[in-house]
Amino acid sequence: MLVNKKINLVQLDLELNGKGLNAVFNDLGDIVEVNLADNNDANEAELAAAINAHQAVFQEPTVADKLASVGLSLDDLKKALGF
């Protein structure tokens, strides 16, 4: 099912039934299509209703997440700062 709004796939899956969803991404990494996983027994109408009701929530990355993305830990940062 094509979508034209921000989708948090994990959140949407839980809002539907927690039985799995698949997504298609565009070149920017945005979800443009959501489909039921093979083992998901929901129907297309239920998926459409869940998508329509969905308001994606994304958590901002923590300092630890940002450091980890460049191969550092909080302890590495503390040592570098002399703590």
Q: pLDDT tens digits for 50-59? A: 999 999 999 8
Query: In terms of Cα–Cα distance, which of 81, 83, 82, 7 is closest to 50?
Result: 7
- Return the ∠ at Cα 11 (arms to 8 and 14), rounded to 5°: 145
pLDDT level of residue 66 (50, 70, 90 thresholds) = confident
Q: For residue 55, what are its two tokens? A: 């308001």
**The pLDDT of residue 62:** 85
Residue 42: how many CB atoms within 10 A of its CB?
A: 16
Task: Please give the model's pTM, rounded to 2 decimal places.
Answer: 0.72
Q: Is 11 exposed, middle or buried (0-12, 13-18, 19+ CB in 10 A)?
A: middle
pLDDT in tens, 9-50: 999 999 999 999 999 999 999 999 999 999 999 999 999 999
In the block, tokens 């998926």 appear at: 47
Tokens matching residue 20: 């799995």
